[in-house]
Amino acid sequence: MSIQVGDRLPEVVLKRISQGIEAVDTRALFDGRKAVLFAVPGAFTPTCSEKHLPGFVQHFEDFRAKGIEVACLAVNDPFVMQAWAQSQHVPDGMIMLSDGNGDLTRALGLELDASAYGMGTRAKRFALYLDDGVVKQLHVEEPGEYRVSSAEYMLEQV
């Protein structure tokens, strides 16, 4: 069963690159603050690189003006996430999270079987709004869709 509105985000350790590889706990990242966590099936993939991440980069300051942190999640290793962030000109302060083993994705119940594309298990395309680590909104895309997890849609909802 997938996570629902009102549920607390599962406690999982993810990776990111800051000053080297850093282990970050979801509770430490999201407790006590408001945040949008959006997930993409894969860094450097077409929709993710042409629309999804660029939308959040473009509207990053709009979220910050509302007091909302922005975090991007993908089932990719931290080095890929760092290279993708650099290529997409991700602003300082946007959190790029590696769920390399899919631990958070599985805990959320939002896995996508992309093995037909040689990508294995990935995260579905989704966005959730958290307040103090609790899911207040959850928007999961249907396969092949890109609408309800976009930065523009999320800005209208929060």
- Using CB atoms within 10 Å of the CB of residue 116, give its burial: 0 to 12 exposed, 13 to 18 middle, 19+ buried: exposed
- Active-site residue (options: 3, 9, 39, 48): 48
Contact present, 27 and 13 (Cβ < 8 Å): no
Residues composing the chain: 158
Query: Which residue(s) pair with 23 in the sheet?
Result: 15
Q: Say which residue the tokens 């999320």 belong to.
A: 154
Q: What's the rounded Cα separation, in Å, for the pair 38 and 76?
A: 14
Contact present, 124 and 141 (Cβ < 8 Å): yes
- Say whether 48 is catalytic: yes
- Indicate which residues carry an active-site annotation: 48
